[in-house]
Amino acid sequence: MSKQKNINTDGGRGKRAGIPEVVFARFKDDASLTRAVENLLKENGRVLVTKCSAGQMSVLEKRFKEKIKTDRNAGICIVGKINPIRNAGSVAIISAGSSDYFVAEEAALSAEFLGLKVLRHYDCGVAGIHRMDCALEKIRKFDVVIVVAGMEGALPSVIGGLVKQPVIAVPTSVGYGTGAGGLSALMSMLNSCSPGIAVVNIDNGFGAAALAYKMIRWIKK
């Protein structure tokens, strides 16, 4: 009954704001999703899709065949040219628990899509903080540190007191009871006593990667 939908992608965003437009799949019907990917593929040669359900991935795989790479746990698809690592800069991604994997990988795959070198260091919660000691040596060599944590979200505060890099904190929806949905982790990160922590939305792994990329691309040059 309704009119033909316009999908009004913003191909020039990469030039203007430094980050190419990506496709946020959730809430999109299959037709809109496919058209959005097609448009951006034509404009930019490659597209990142985030928060993509298993069902949506099947639709995209059918349409883009060998041109698509997917990670079901992280809800990520990349369509078109896989980026040769440009080594524009580097980011270390630390996660508090193995349950936070899906967000940490959204960040990691997004960072790689944007051309950053990525170190993954997962599953090192604050209850066993001594386990981080040798990892810190390695981490201190990277440009930016992304810390992903659910539940009480304390890890970025601890890391932020131990390294000189800018720390980007990503709260996750991992938890239960009062921790369900990630509000507890978010509030911890916003109220951190370690000064200078950048916070992004709950489960927003892509946002953290985009912020790391903006820091590196703009400031390093």
- Stretch 31-50 residues interacting with its own copies (CB under 8 A): 32, 36
Instruction: Decide if residue 58 touches its own copies (CB under 8 A).
Output: no
What strands, in cross-sheet order, belong to the sheet with 46-50? 23-24, 46-50, 76-80, 68-71
In the bound complex, what is the minimum distance in angstroms from residue 174's beta carbon to its own copies? 5
Note the helical H segments in the chain.
Answer: 13-17, 30-44, 54-64, 101-113, 133-139, 155-160, 183-190, 205-214
CB of 150 to its own copies, least distance (A): 8
Q: Is 163 in the site for its own copies (CB under 8 A)?
A: yes
Bridge partners, 23 (sequence order): 49
Rule CB under 8 A: say whether 189 interacts with its own copies: yes
- Tell me the two tokens of residue 43: 């404009």
**Interaction between residue 154 and its own copies (CB under 8 A):** yes
> Cβ distance 32 to 40 under 8 Å?
no
Nearest to 57 by CA among 43, 75, 37: 75
d(CA 78, CA 202) in angstroms, rounded, equals: 22
The reply on whether position 55 binds its own copies by CB under 8 A is: no
Residue among 84, 87, 128, 134 that touches its own copies (CB under 8 A)? 128
Rule CB under 8 A: is residue 85 a binding residue for its own copies? no
**Which residue's entry shows tokens 């928060």?**
51
By CB under 8 A, residue 105 contacts its own copies? yes
Q: Which is nearer to its own copies, 64 or 206 (CB)?
A: 206
Q: Which of 79, 84, 99, 146 binds its own copies (CB under 8 A)?
A: 99
Interface with its own copies, residue 198, by CB under 8 A: yes
Figure out which of the listed residues 17, 62, 85, 141 binds its own copies, where binding follows CB under 8 A: 17
Q: Is 88 in the site for its own copies (CB under 8 A)?
A: no
| Structure-token pair, residue 146 | 């992304």
Which H or E element spans position 158? Answer: helix 155-160
